[in-house]
Homo-oligomer: A and B are copies of this chain.
Amino acid sequence: MAPPMDVNQQTAADMGAARSRTSISVQIVRNYLYGGQKQWDLRERLEKILIQEQLFGKQQREFLGRTDQYIRATAITNRLNELRRIHSWSAEEYNTATSLLSEILPISLHDVAFQPVFLGQGSPALMENYWDLVNEKGIQGCYLQTELGHGTNVARLETTSTYIPETQEFEINSPSLTSTKWWIGALGKSATHGAVQAKLILPNGKDTGPHLFFVQLRSLEDHKPLPGIIVGDIGPKAGGGMAAQDQGFARFDHVRIPRTNMFSKFAEVTKEGNYIQPPHAKLSYGGMMYIRAGMIPSAAWTIARAATVAIRYTTVRRQGELDTNGLERQVLNYPSTYYRLLPILSRAFVLIELGRYTVKALDEMQQRLANRDTSLLPEMHALLCGLKVLVSTHGVSDIETARRSMGGHGYSAFAGLGRLYIDYLPAATFEGDNFVLDGQVVRAATKLCNAVLSSTSAVTKLPPPSAYLRLLSANSTPAPVTASTWHDVSSVVFLLEWRAALMVKNFTQTQGKAEVDANINQRLAKAVTEAFVAVQVGEMINNLTTLPSEDANVVGRLYRLYLLTTAESALVDLFSVGLIHPTGAGDPTQDLRLAIKALCLGILPNAIGLTDAFGFSDWSLDSALGVSDGRVYEALWQRV
């Protein structure tokens, strides 16, 4: 047995040894993740400013009750705005600073939901009167959609906005308890104004469905609710989640607003009370689509945090069997640990890149929308539904997997992942319940599949998210799966495309003829979205040639790990549609499983380097188990 070494020194030595094994350039991979040295420098420059603010320290946060957390968030918001003015931050700088804080702030709903509605759907008159106030946060907005009785099914919202031609006003009304606006972020205490979703009722009694209206909620004098409006906080959330966010409710008792307060860039009501239709029913989806697209990088960086903490801790935590040095093995070196954690690392990398792609595609669509060209809308909508489900599902489970890989200490608040989880959790439900969104993905896929199947010639112009359907019209057959399949990127991508194509085809041909099982939407949507992402990952691997070869090698392994673990989780599908057959020569899944293990072992020496490349400071991670120097026991002791 080796001479006894102080365990704290050992943790530091283990971390040092892991760093010295790193074969990639952390700086180069970091710049790759951030999209360039410039973005990183911006981030670093801003973090230096933020770190100096004692108010922004997180160490006492776990000891605060909900009210104190809200007060702290408000103080942070005010100071952040002061800093914005002091340093004359641009919108990009302000947004970067906000994301660096990684705090739940009520103002975020203003920034992410309210302000974009103004920008995207405000009429020229509304913009002229209010934009400066909105932009300078002279008023604080919120976005009132969900009601007590209705969330996902927006078409059935009960709140009404009835046009009164005599006074040229709308009358906002909550006709029932269940029509109470509910879960509205920043409404409980903070917001002064809101964008209210309400059914627009014309003077002839016609209900034209939900539209958005700009409504002042509270007085700018004393912050009291305006006459006819009841507002309040809906209470604490599960596990103390989003404690600093004041989700609230609101009821309207025949509240009048001027006609010009309708967000009328697309649909309008004339002075006389005539309705002018928008050019496309889904034109107002733009804002929601940006929010969903933003969920991709947000999931990615959240997963990156969890991966960093767990990989650092399991690198220095030793437990169980003795290794060749007579020390207990590092927990990360157990197959059951790296098999859980390295796929999480790979998802963080993939989703960071994927987020960049998606926002770019969305910008393109938005530009077309500005010219009232809606051709990209339906496909983009279905894609974003699928991606939202994919990233939020991974986000929730990856944080928890990372937390659990840390054993008992992972349950300590000082590990930092408990809060990360509970605050991230609602992502699976908000912006469309994942199970409902799956249905939208399937609807779009079957519609296009029907078109492909009924077309006599090969369909040449499939939109990118549905490119996998080309396989059905190409008279091609899938290549048989062999051991070498798993070592060839394009083979795996093809396999995942074939899986989606065959599953969607089987379903489309069955529809109305035979019964389908209860879980079909979930399996189909997953297959469709994963096929799209697999193609993107193939692209990402091709694009790695811009990096030095060792960096490209290692990041390439991560991307391949993503593809293989996707295939592993799709094994039942691959069997079901006949893409993998038993060969009679042993377990047909074994080649894939061993390929995953080999990739993991190839990545393992760079695990610490790759997490360092995310660039999180100890201040930002705020985790005793994720400290950069590895001295986890001292960090834990210090917090206690």
Which residue in chain B gives the minimum CB-CB distance to A240? Answer: B240
- The reply to whether the CB of A512 lies closer than 8 angstroms to some CB of chain B is no
* Residue A171 CB within 8 A of the other chain: no
Contacts of A176 in B (CB 8 A): 6-7
Range class of the A interface residue count: 35 or more
- Kindly list chain B residues whose C-beta atoms are within 8 Å of the C-beta of A63: 66, 236
The listed residue (B148, B435, B575) touching A589 by CB distance below 8 A is: B575
**Binding-face segment, A87-95, A448-456, A459-467, A629-637:** A629-637
CA gap between A149 and B636 in the complex, in Å: 11
By the criterion CB–CB under 8 Å, are A234 and B640 in contact?
yes
State whether A178 and B319 are in contact (beta carbons under 8 Å apart), knowing that A336-B519, A425-B411 are contacts in the complex.
no
Q: In the assembly, what is the distance between CA of A590 and CA of B573, in Å?
A: 11
- Copies of this polypeptide in the complex: 2
Is A152 interfacial (CB-CB < 8 Å)? yes
In the complex, A544 has a CB within 8 A of chain B: no
A606-640 vs B, Cβ < 8 Å mask (1 yes, 0 no): 00000000000000000000000000011011011
Do residues B232 and A339 form an inter-chain contact, with CB atoms below 8 A? no
Contact residues in B for A149 (Cβ distance below 8 Å)? 7, 633
Is there an interface contact between B575 and A408, defined as CB atoms closer than 8 Å?
no
Interface: A571 (CB within 8 A): yes
Find chain B residues with CB under 8 A from A62 CB.
235-236
Q: Are A238's CB and B7's CB within 8 A?
A: no
Of B238, B413, B571, which contacts A419 at CB under 8 A?
Answer: B238
B239 A240 Cβ-Cβ under 8 A: yes
| Complex CA–CA separation, A400 to B180 (angstroms) | 27
Pick from B156, B239, B520, B577: contact of A328, CB below 8 A. Answer: B156
A72 at the interface (CB under 8 A from B): no
Residue of B182, B419, B593 near A519 (CB, 8 A) is B593
Interface residue? A8 (CB, 8 A): yes
Please indicate the chain B residues that have their CB under 8 angstroms from the CB of A581 in the complex.
Answer: 582
- A148 lies within 8 A of B178 (CB): no
Q: Using a CB-CB cutoff of 8 Å, which residues 309-351 of chain A contact chain B? A: 319-320, 328, 334-339
A468 CB–B CB distance under 8 Å: no
Interface centre among A403, A634, A636 (most CB of B within 10 A): A636
Q: Is A410 an interface residue (CB 8 A)?
A: yes
Q: Which residues of B contact A240 (CB under 8 A)?
A: 239-240, 413
In the complex, which residues of chain B have a beta carbon less than 8 angstroms from the beta carbon of A127? none
Say yes or no: is A18 at the interface (Cβ < 8 Å to chain B).
no
| A436-476 interface bits toward B, Cβ cutoff 8 Å, 1 = contact, 0 = none | 10100000000000000000000000000000000000000
Give 1 or 0 for each of A486-523: 1 = CB within 8 Å of chain B CB. Answer: 00000000000000000000100000000101111110
Cβ of A190 to closest chain B Cβ, rounded Å: 17
Q: Contact string, A69-92, partner B, CB cutoff 8 A, digits 1/0?
A: 000000000000000000000000
22 examples of A-B residue contacts, CB within 8 angstroms: A7-B149, A148-B633, A151-B408, A153-B320, A156-B319, A177-B633, A178-B633, A235-B640, A236-B413, A237-B412, A238-B415, A239-B422, A240-B240, A335-B518, A335-B520, A339-B518, A408-B433, A518-B597, A518-B600, A575-B575, A575-B589, A581-B582
Apart from A239-B240, A576-B590, 12 more pairs, CB < 8 Å: A8-B178, A234-B412, A238-B413, A238-B417, A238-B421, A239-B422, A336-B435, A336-B521, A404-B429, A506-B587, A517-B594, A519-B593
